[in-house]
Homo-oligomer: A and B are copies of this chain.
Amino acid sequence: MDNLTDGDVTLLATTPEGESYLSTSLHERIRRDIETKIFSGQWQPGQRIPAEDALASAHQCSRMTINKVLTALAKAELIVRKPKVGTFVALRRSNTAVIEVLDVSVEVTNLGLPYSFTLLRRAKRKALKSDCAKLSLPPASNILELRCCHFAGNHPFCLEDRIISLVSVPDAEHESFVAMAPTTWLISKIPWSEAEQSIHAVLADEETSRILDVPRGSAGLTIERNTWLADRFVTWARFSYPGDAYHISAKFVSATGI
């Protein structure tokens, strides 16, 4: 069997300083090697690391394999690559966290509770000046204003205020949103989009506290979301949650986020 003399396998088994994870691929093991050097402090932040050629011969592999590893590490911002200069251990991690953005119905279902919603308001109107501030939409555009309450079992879970641009989504005018929640409907219409969101802490105002069935003046989280499709404004939404019933989790790897 010439498998036994396969260049790859024998190479991998004799990779320097590597516990031979025979099941993982070469570039994964090399990546682990390099990450270990960085995390252990053997390669200090800011320090220049060996060139691709040098790493290739050190790991007895081709330059392309090293390039693949370093490109991935650069994307992960563990290292910084300066073309024609060299590769350096990053001074600081990007300190970003990834949070999951769930559809309300999915959130509720994940909690093992029956999901339902009620449409509280539906109005077609022209965008006012006050809208345009948050909507990045020209004044007097046709918009659809919606408000609905999402329930987990019999309990109000979240209040949704939404504005949909009828310029971008004309079909919305003929949809009642009684049977299908706005989010669900929009997803079916606008499969891909860009969004920007911000999270605020607020005190529940009178109407919100009444709808969500919490004491007036309780703490709440609001998530505001603006959505575009190729630079065209599609929809704005604000989700109001009773604060004690909700939180947002995130995981990350970071230097500065300690």
Contact = CB atoms under 8 A, between A and B. Distances in A.
B190 A202 contact: no
A17 to B, nearest CB: 18
Nearest to A44: B191
Contacts of A234: 258
B98 A98 contact: yes
B253 A194 contact: yes
Given A100-B96, A254-B101, A258-B190, A219 B203 contact: yes
Interface stretch (A49-57, A119-127, A132-140, A242-250): A242-250
A225 interface: yes
Given A192-B253, A193-B254, A219-B220, A247 B99 contact: no
A247 B202 CA distance: 10
Given A101-B95, A102-B256, A253-B192, A200 B247 contact: yes
B196 A219 contact: no
B193 A97 contact: no
Interface residues of A, number: 59
A219 B191 contact: no
Contacts of A196: 249-252
B198 A201 contact: no
Interface in A216-258: 217-221, 225, 227, 230, 234-235, 237, 241, 243-244, 246-258
A39 interface: yes
Interface in A172-206: 183, 186-187, 190-203
A254 B225 CA distance: 12
